[in-house]
Structure 1
Amino acid sequence: MRPYAVFLIVAGCTAFGSSCAYTLNLVFQIGVVGLDPLGLVLVGTVLEVVYLVAQVPMGILADLRGRRLPVVLGVLLTGAATVLQGAAPTVPATIAGTALFGVGAACFDGAFEAWAADELGEAGIGAALVRGAQLAQAASIAGMLAASALSAADPSLPLLAGGAVWLALGLLLLPAMRARPAPRGRPEDLLAGLRAANRAPRVRAMAFATLFVALGREGFDRLGQAHLLDALPGAGASASLWLGGLAITTTLAAIPLTRLLGNLLPGDGPAFAWLLSAQVAAMAVFALADRFALAAAAAVVAGALRSAADPLWTAWLVARTAPATRATVLSAIGMLSATGEIAGGPPAGWIGRRFSVARALLACAAVTLPGVVFLKRAGAPRDRRRGGADAEREPARSGD
Structure 2
Amino acid sequence: MTSKDNASRIYTLMKWMTSLANATMFTTYAVYQVIAMGLNPLQLLLVGMVLEVTVLVFEGITGVIADTYSRRLSVIVGMFVLGSGFVLEGSAMWLGSEVSLLSAFMWLLLSQVIFGLGATFVSGAETAWSVDEVGEEHAGTIFMRAGRIGLSATLLGIALSVGLSALEPNLPYVIGGFIYLLLGVILLVYMKETKFTKPQPSAGASNWHRLTSTWLSGAKVIRSQPVLLMIVIVTLFSGAASEGYDRLWQAHLITDIGFPNSLALSAAVWFGTIALLSTLLSLGVMAFAEKRLNMGNEQVVLRGMFVLTLARIGAIVSIALAPNFVWALVSVLFFEAVRTLSGPIYDTWLNLNIESRSRATVLSMMSQSDALGQTAGGPLVGWVGKRFSLRTSLVAAAVLLVPILAVYGRTLRNRRERDS
Does the 8 Å CA contact 1:11/1:136 hold for their aligned counterparts?
A: yes
Q: Which one-letter code corresponds to 2:259 in the other structure?
A: P
Residue 237 of structure 1, CA deviation: 6.2
Q: Which one-letter code corresponds to 1:94 in the other structure?
A: L
2:244 and 2:366 map into 1 onto residues whose CA distance is 20
Q: How does 1:6-45 map to 2 (within 5 A)?
A: 6-45=10-49
In structure 1, the partner of 2:112 is: 98
1:250 and 1:170 map into 2 onto residues whose CA distance is 28
Q: Does 1:324 align with 2:357?
A: yes
Q: Which one-letter code corresponds to 2:271 in the other structure?
A: L
Identity %: 32
* Counterpart pick for 2:61 among 57, 74, 81: 57
In structure 2, the partner of 1:392 is: none
In structure 2, the partner of 1:255 is: 283
Q: Which one-letter code corresponds to 2:283 in the other structure?
A: I
Does the 8 Å CA contact 1:64/1:182 hold for their aligned counterparts?
A: no
Residue 382 of structure 1, CA deviation: 4.6
In structure 2, the partner of 1:241 is: 269
Larger mean Cα displacement after TM superposition, 52-61 or 229-238: 229-238
Q: Does 1:168 align with 2:182?
A: yes
Residue 24 of structure 1, CA deviation: 1.2
Q: Which one-letter code corresponds to 2:177 in the other structure?
A: G
Q: Which one-letter code corresponds to 2:371 in the other structure?
A: A
In structure 2, the partner of 1:76 is: 80
Residue 270 of structure 1, CA deviation: 3.1
Does the 8 Å CA contact 1:206/1:375 hold for their aligned counterparts?
A: no
Does the 8 Å CA contact 2:64/2:214 hold for their aligned counterparts?
A: no
**Alpha-carbon spacing, 1:244–1:30, altered in 2? closer, same or farther (3 Å):** same
Q: How does 1:236-385 map to 2 (within 5 A)?
A: 238-262=266-290, 263-264=292-293, 266=297, 267-379=300-412, 381-382=414-415, 385=418
Q: Which one-letter code corresponds to 1:362 in the other structure?
A: V
Residue 107 of structure 1, CA deviation: 0.5
Q: Which one-letter code corresponds to 2:60 in the other structure?
A: V
Does the 8 Å CA contact 2:30/2:250 hold for their aligned counterparts?
A: yes
In structure 1, the partner of 2:204 is: none
Does the 8 Å CA contact 1:86/1:160 hold for their aligned counterparts?
A: yes
Secondary structure of residue in 2 paired with 1:214: helix
Q: Which one-letter code corresponds to 1:92 in the other structure?
A: M
Residue 179 of structure 1, CA deviation: 4.0
Secondary structure of residue in 2 paired with 1:130: helix
**Alpha-carbon spacing, 1:225–1:121, altered in 2? closer, same or farther (3 Å):** same
Q: Which one-letter code corresponds to 2:258 in the other structure?
A: L
1:67 and 1:15 map into 2 onto residues whose CA distance is 21
1:327 and 1:39 map into 2 onto residues whose CA distance is 32
Does the 8 Å CA contact 1:219/1:344 hold for their aligned counterparts?
A: yes
**Alpha-carbon spacing, 1:273–1:69, altered in 2? closer, same or farther (3 Å):** same
* Counterpart pick for 1:218 among 233, 243, 265: 243
In structure 2, the partner of 1:159 is: 173
Residue 64 of structure 1, CA deviation: 0.5
**Alpha-carbon spacing, 1:162–1:310, altered in 2? closer, same or farther (3 Å):** same
Larger mean Cα displacement after TM superposition, 130-139 or 2-11: 2-11
2:413 and 2:7 map into 1 onto residues whose CA distance is 32
CA deviation string 1:290-311 (max 9, x = no partner): 2111011111111110111111
**Alpha-carbon spacing, 1:381–1:37, altered in 2? closer, same or farther (3 Å):** closer
Residue 384 of structure 1, CA deviation: 6.8
In structure 2, the partner of 1:232 is: 258
1:169 and 1:275 map into 2 onto residues whose CA distance is 32
CA deviation string 1:238-268 (max 9, x = no partner): 1111111111211211122123334336543
Structure 1 length as normaliser, TM-score? 0.92
1:316 and 1:98 map into 2 onto residues whose CA distance is 29
CA deviation string 1:1-53 (max 9, x = no partner): 82222111111001101110122112201122221110000000100000111
Residue 232 of structure 1, CA deviation: 2.5
Q: Which one-letter code corresponds to 1:264 in the other structure?
A: L
Q: Which one-letter code corresponds to 2:62 in the other structure?
A: M
2:44 and 2:143 map into 1 onto residues whose CA distance is 31
Residue 224 of structure 1, CA deviation: 0.5
In structure 2, the partner of 1:67 is: 71
Q: Which one-letter code corresponds to 1:3 in the other structure?
A: A
2:56 and 2:122 map into 1 onto residues whose CA distance is 13
Residue 180 of structure 1, CA deviation: 4.2
| Structure 2 gap segments, 5+ residues each | 94-103, 201-209
1:260 and 1:215 map into 2 onto residues whose CA distance is 29
2:415 and 2:341 map into 1 onto residues whose CA distance is 27
Larger mean Cα displacement after TM superposition, 251-260 or 30-39: 251-260
In structure 1, the partner of 2:123 is: 109
Secondary structure of residue in 2 paired with 1:119: helix
Q: Does 1:139 align with 2:143?
A: no
2:360 and 2:77 map into 1 onto residues whose CA distance is 15
Does the 8 Å CA contact 2:72/2:192 hold for their aligned counterparts?
A: yes
Structure 2 length as normaliser, TM-score? 0.87
In structure 2, the partner of 1:398 is: none
Residue 219 of structure 1, CA deviation: 0.8
Residue 215 of structure 1, CA deviation: 1.5
Secondary structure of residue in 1 paired with 2:219: helix
Residue 122 of structure 1, CA deviation: 1.2
In structure 2, the partner of 1:4 is: 8
Larger mean Cα displacement after TM superposition, 149-158 or 273-282: 149-158
Q: Which one-letter code corresponds to 1:259 in the other structure?
A: A
| Structure 1 gap segments, 5+ residues each | 389-400
